[in-house]
Amino acid sequence: MRAATASTVAVMTTGLARRTVLAAGRPAPHGPKLPGVRKSPLSTDETPTPWDDVTSYNNFYEFAGSDNKDLPSELAPANLVTKPWNVVVEGACKRTGTYSLERVLDGQTLEERIYRHRCVEGWSMVIPWVGLPLADFIARCQPTANARYIAFDSHYDRTRMPRSRRLPFDWPYTEGLRMDEAMHPLTILAVGLYGETLPHQNGAPIRLVVPWKYGFKSIKSIVRLSFLENQPVGTYQQQEPPSYGFYANVNPAVDHPLWSQATERRIGDFFRRDTSLFNGYGNHVASLYAGMDLMKDY
Ligand code: MTE
């Protein structure tokens, strides 16, 4: 087991891992259905976690710090301004520039992807996302041969996210993937939930979803994509490298220094259940990591 550190993320998430009750956040109001959403064979047939839980029990540290699941649903709707929204594309690709959200979505057929969602803190949900394959957008950006990784930045507004200052993070929140992970068919840019527009607390208007990795890789409210030659360092990894590696693949055999990852609490369940390697998506993604030592490259 890796050595325990006393750094911020670990200490502040210890209590969360043991939480059994839902925080009383404010579930998002329902809106109109997104048009033309297609079902996907990549969806699980497990029962989705209810809308009210998915939209009131959230991690969005910019709004809440790390210890409060209910505050994102209370603060994000008023303080996250999603219109207009632009995503800057930069680095090793031919089509750099500023893409409006409308341009990102132009000509795309949205798909429903019902995925398991496993937080590093030890809770999980089943979420019916709506989105588009990240691979489709990457193809439009035309990465060059130098693009081996892709990094993402979240939107950050210090004045509208005052609680973020309680954390010693180097904002904005950032994350990264290897290009083959980013191009994998399971990896999506989500713009909706339950067939409706993505609520602010869930990372509106556009976020990443990588279902075989711990939830912190699924960065919210994306404003920048950078194609890189070298491996980027994400916010969690930068904050506490011994606990959070670059890959962050769900792995019940690799404990967090302060808690076991062998089991998880599905929100709504009383008993914990076993956690599966790659969050149960091993038949799709294990080959991406062939030859790697998953106990070291976590
Ligand atoms: N993205 C940003 N920008 N800020 C965050 O605090 N939290 C991460 C991830 N993406 C986070 C983020 C973590 S720890 C998890 S588990 C998921 O978002 C939570 O997504 P949800 O609130 O939609 O369930």
- pLDDT in single tens digits along all 298 residues of the chain: 333 333 444 444 433 333 445 667 999 999 999 999 999 999 999 999 999 999 999 999 999 987 799 999 999 999 999 999 999 999 999 999 999 999 999 999 999 999 999 999 999 999 999 999 999 999 999 999 999 999 999 999 999 999 999 999 999 999 999 999 999 999 999 999 999 999 999 999 999 999 999 999 999 999 999 999 999 999 999 999 999 999 999 999 999 999 999 999 999 999 999 999 999 999 999 999 999 999 999 9
Q: What span, in angstroms and rounded, lies between the C-alpha atoms of 242 and 130?
A: 34
Report the separation in Å between the CA atom of 137 and the middle of ligand 1, taken as the mean of its atom positions: 22
Nearest CA to ligand 1 atom 11: 60
The model's pTM: 0.94
Nearest to 155 by CA among 97, 103, 87: 87
- ∠ CA(87), CA(88), CA(89), 5° rounding? 115
Which ligand 1 atom is at minimum distance from the Cα of 72? Answer: 22
Is residue 152 lining ligand 1, measured as CB closer than 6 Å? Answer: no
Is residue 219 lining ligand 1, measured as CB closer than 6 Å? Answer: yes
Report the separation in Å between the CA atom of 145 and the middle of ligand 1, taken as the mean of its atom positions: 31
Say what the pLDDT of residue 251 is.
Answer: 98
Which ligand 1 atom is at minimum distance from the Cα of 221? Answer: 3
Look at strands 222-228 and 86-91 and give their pairing: parallel
Is 7 strand, coil or helix? Answer: coil
Q: What span, in angstroms and rounded, lies between the C-alpha atoms of 201 and 177?
A: 23
Nearest CA to ligand 1 atom 3: 220
Is residue 197 lining ligand 1, measured as CB closer than 6 Å? Answer: no
Q: What span, in angstroms and rounded, lies between the C-alpha atoms of 34 and 187?
A: 20
Please give the domain boundaries of the chain with CATH numbers for all domains. Answer: 2-289 (3.90.420.10)
Say what the pLDDT of residue 1 is.
Answer: 32
Residue 219 CB-half CA count within 13 A: 24
Which ligand 1 atom is at minimum distance from the Cα of 175? Answer: 1
Q: Hey, CA dihedral for 20, 21, 26, 32, is it positive or negative?
A: positive
CB 129 within 8 A of CB 153: no
Q: The tokens 């489709």 sit on which residue?
A: 136
User: What tokens appear for 44 in the block?
Assistant: 């699980």
